[in-house]
Amino acid sequence: MNTIIFKNSDEACKKASDMICSVVKEKNDALLGLATGGTMENVYKYIVEEYKNKKVDFKSIRTINLDEYVGLNGDHPQSYRKYMDDRFFNHVNILKENTYVPVTTGDINKELLRIKDIIDGNKGADVQLLGVGINGHIAFNEPCDRLNASVSVVDLDEGTIKANSRYFSSIDEVPKKAVSLGIGDILKAKKIILLAFGCEKANAIRELLKNDFITTKVPCTFLKAHNDVTVIIDEALSKEL
């Protein structure tokens, strides 16, 4: 596992953007595995900047997002489809039909099959961007006795609902379920870039970097089974390890 520590999250996001852009330059029809959340916002800001500087071209690029809340329409302000459109897709020359964020308002079983097809059709994403929850979740794979290998509908942990309530007007509005890629789907990616900032992520990152255990109680520890993972953290987090 390759770990890179940056002074601050902004520099770290620039590095993640550079890594994603090099995959785009190497393979013009790459499948990018994308993530949402506060951590990723500046990654997309820098990717869009690269596009505006004519350094990258998204015309044949395909994307798949890790997850989506069940029941939120794509135009809901807190849906991950809207997050992606607002921060990335609407600002580059990607074809919307090549961007995939789970659609969770219709026939979900059909949707799960569609996601499997996208992942298996490409034998996993060419690069997977990942955040991590305070509890160690990756995508919405929450700590549990067992974890799903492939995409499924999952229950959100109480801590995750609380953490994500900052984006909703009340905690009751936070959806309790999500469609999420499974751990196996994530591990199929050819390359994984995980970003984590701030001391509240220290427990999860310590379990990932400081011992040799893999445990369903801290889902990010499954990344130890992958041979091309870059963990990008800031100094505030690294001081707590």
Q: Which residues bind ligand PGA (CB under 6 A)?
A: 37-39, 131-133
Of 124 and 219, which has the nearer Cβ to ligand PGA?
Answer: 219
Distance (Å, whole) CA 90 – CA 84: 8
Minimal CB distance residue for ligand PGA:
37
β-sheet bridge partners, residue 69:
178
Of 33 and 133, which has the nearer Cβ to ligand PGA?
Answer: 133
Of 78 and 215, which has the nearer Cβ to ligand PGA?
Answer: 78
Catalytic-role residue among 50, 68, 122, 137? 137
Structure tokens at 88: 């990335």
Of 56 and 139, which has the nearer Cβ to ligand PGA?
Answer: 139
16 exposed, middle or buried (CB, 10 Å; 0-12, 13-18, 19+)?
Answer: buried
Minimum CB separation of residue 131 from ligand PGA in Å reads 3
Distance (Å, whole) CA 154 – CA 100: 19
Of 56 and 65, which has the nearer Cβ to ligand PGA?
Answer: 65
Minimum CB separation of residue 97 from ligand PGA in Å reads 26
Structure tokens at 138: 């990756």
Minimum CB separation of residue 132 from ligand PGA in Å reads 5
* Contact predicate 231/146, CB 8 Å: no
Distance (Å, whole) CA 167 – CA 45: 19
Catalytic-role residue among 42, 65, 122, 135? 135
Distance (Å, whole) CA 226 – CA 175: 31
Spatial CA neighbour of 228 closest among 159, 135, 130: 130
Distance (Å, whole) CA 197 – CA 205: 10
Minimum CB separation of residue 56 from ligand PGA in Å reads 23
Catalytic-role residue among 50, 67, 185, 207? 67
Kindly give the pairing relationship between strand 67-69 and strand 177-180. Answer: antiparallel
Distance (Å, whole) CA 70 – CA 153: 8
Minimum CB separation of residue 39 from ligand PGA in Å reads 3
Q: Is 135 a catalytic residue?
A: yes
H/E element, 203: helix 202-209
Q: Is 137 a catalytic residue?
A: yes
Catalytic residues: 67, 135, 137, 142
